[in-house]
Amino acid sequence: MKPKLNHRLEMPNSNNNNSNQYGPYSPKLPKHNRSLPRSINYLLREQRLLFTLIGILIGSTFFIIQPILSRIGPSEAHPYTRSGFTTRHDLRGVGLERRSAVAGRVPAAIGARRLRVVVTGGAGFVGSHLVDKLIGRGNEVIVVDNFFTGRKDNLVHLLGNPRFELIRHDVVEPILLEVDQIYHLACPASPVHYKYNPVKTIKTNVMGTLNMLGLAKRIGARFLLTSTSEVYGDPLEHPQKETYWGNVNPIGERSCYDEGKRTAETLTMDYHRGDGVEVRIARIFNTYGPRMCLDDGRVVSNFVAQVIRKQPMTVYGDGKQTRSFQYVSDLVNGLVALMDGEHVGPFNLGNPGEFTMLELAEVVKATIDPSATIEFRPNTADDPHMRKPDISKAKELLNWEPKVPLKEGLPLMVNDFRNRILNEDEGKGMK
């Protein structure tokens, strides 16, 4: 056993016995002096150097040529792509036009182009009827609404339609969309709603309108503002023509709406004159119909809901103040005629048939319940005494006039209100 051990220990120190000056148990001497010529020898033997050089050459050729091939593109690189064998991998990194050319297909957005329209406030009463009309005539419609007074229920029948989109958005914030026309309706319209947060109402009217006009300017879309007969205030001219400048209280409870809309009209005209934006202005008079909010304080919806619920109709003041009532389909036809026509406006859109509140109460009674009663209350601040549109300008230039008389329109609204009030009551019964 012993000699074997000695032999192993002596191995690193050459063959001659103990030639290491430090003795048999000293650390090994460094080997590199000897190994360098050995590895060169190894390379030179059996043409190994030659094969190594050939390998390097092949590798560098691949890395130089490959990027050039991919820049040339798949159609040239892969002859089969032209005959319909293009794969997703082949198309990666190729521009849209190129992809369509390569794949032989036209992208959906470039085919026969439909008119694309945005309706702000499209989930509301007027907006939802307008959307129905636009979808009905083949347009693509995008509704932008924050659902303050609007309801998804008003649009639920369109949710599966590929030409319809619904976006929850507040118009006080900017939005970027690609459209041809902008119907700008977003704004609470009934006194109950617009007085609820007056600062928000004026922000919606001013900043919302600025944002949508900015969008129209940026994308070259035509812009329509739904203004209101409230810009005439408590009018000193009767009936009101578009040339009348109004009699508005700038610091009253209604000013957030009235002055807000007046400013919105100003902005609209300034974008038109200053920036060449194509604009349209509609001044809408009282409108009624299905999908109005049940308890929004507007006189027609108030009376109808009260009589269906077997409550007395509330008449403010002596009930002799007058209003004109337009059925919603007439308004929608007027808005579309205005948008599609060549005239900026402003145009009065309303029904010139004039009713006192007491006369309206009689029509509602006759339509729903002859035993309905009336309750008088003090009048609200700044309630205008009379309102009646002069629509000769719209008749002449838009070839438009309302067709549905109150006695025909009211029953259509009553059916809708009856169903909703019934559902409301059933909902209460389930709680």
Ligand X SMILES: NC(=O)c1ccc[n+]([C@@H]2O[C@H](COP(=O)([O-])OP(=O)(O)OC[C@H]3O[C@@H](n4cnc5c(N)ncnc54)[C@H](O)[C@@H]3O)[C@@H](O)[C@H]2O)c1
Question: How many residues belong to the site for ligand X (CB under 6 A)?
Answer: 29
The β-bridge relationship of strands 287-288 and 313-316 is: unpaired
Judged by CB, which is closer to ligand X: 102, or 134? 134
In this chain, which of 135, 171, 182, 267 binds ligand X, going by CB under 6 A? 171
Judged by CB, which is closer to ligand X: 99, or 152? 152
* Token digits of residue 134: 């636009």
Of the listed pieces 33-41, 69-77, 144-152, 422-430, which binds ligand X according to CB under 6 A?
Answer: 144-152
204 contributes a contact to ligand X by CB under 6 A: yes
Judged by CB, which is closer to ligand X: 81, or 149? 149
121 contributes a contact to ligand X by CB under 6 A: yes
Q: How far is the CB of 293 from ligand X (least distance, A)?
A: 6
258 contributes a contact to ligand X by CB under 6 A: no
In this chain, which of 155, 158, 186, 315 binds ligand X, going by CB under 6 A? 186
102 contributes a contact to ligand X by CB under 6 A: no
The Cα–Cα gap between 21 and 13 comes to 10
Q: What is the largest CA-CA distance in the chain?
A: 135
Catalytic positions are 257
287 contributes a contact to ligand X by CB under 6 A: yes
125 contributes a contact to ligand X by CB under 6 A: yes
74 contributes a contact to ligand X by CB under 6 A: no
Handedness of CA 98, 101, 102, 107 (dihedral sign): positive
Query: Is residue 149 within 8 Å of residue 124, measured between CB atoms?
Result: yes
Q: How far is the CB of 294 from ligand X (least distance, A)?
A: 11
196 contributes a contact to ligand X by CB under 6 A: no
Please report, for residues 98, 110, 132, the alpha-carbon distance to residue 113 in angstroms, rounded to integers and kept in the order given.
20, 7, 20
Site for ligand X in 322-351 (CB under 6 A): none
147 contributes a contact to ligand X by CB under 6 A: yes
The Cα–Cα gap between 305 and 413 comes to 10
In this chain, which of 94, 118, 119, 126 binds ligand X, going by CB under 6 A? 126
255 contributes a contact to ligand X by CB under 6 A: no
Burial letters 6-20, b for 16+ CB under 10 A, else e: eeeeeeebeeeeeeb
In this chain, which of 102, 117, 119, 185 binds ligand X, going by CB under 6 A? 185
In this chain, which of 228, 255, 268, 348 binds ligand X, going by CB under 6 A? 228
* Token digits of residue 353: 């048939």
Q: How far is the CB of 147 from ligand X (least distance, A)?
A: 5
148 contributes a contact to ligand X by CB under 6 A: yes
Query: Is residue 172 within 8 Å of residue 207, measured between CB atoms?
Result: yes
Burial letters 152-174, b for 16+ CB under 10 A, else e: eebbeebeeeeebbbeebbbbee
In this chain, which of 284, 339, 398, 406 binds ligand X, going by CB under 6 A? 284
Burial letters 291-330, b for 16+ CB under 10 A, else e: bbbeebbbbbbbbbbbbbeeeebbbbeebebbbbbbbbbb
Contacts of 336 by beta carbon, 8 Å cutoff, 6+ apart: 130, 133, 134
Handedness of CA 155, 157, 163, 167 (dihedral sign): positive
260 contributes a contact to ligand X by CB under 6 A: no
Please report, for residues 63, 73, 76, the alpha-carbon distance to residue 68 in angstroms, rounded to integers and kept in the order given.
9, 9, 12
384 contributes a contact to ligand X by CB under 6 A: no
Of the listed pieces 65-73, 180-188, 315-323, 374-382, which binds ligand X according to CB under 6 A?
Answer: 180-188
Of the listed pieces 30-38, 57-65, 165-173, 311-319, which binds ligand X according to CB under 6 A?
Answer: 165-173
Residues that bind ligand X (CB under 6 A): 120-121, 123-127, 145-150, 170-172, 185-189, 193, 204, 208, 226, 228, 284, 286-287
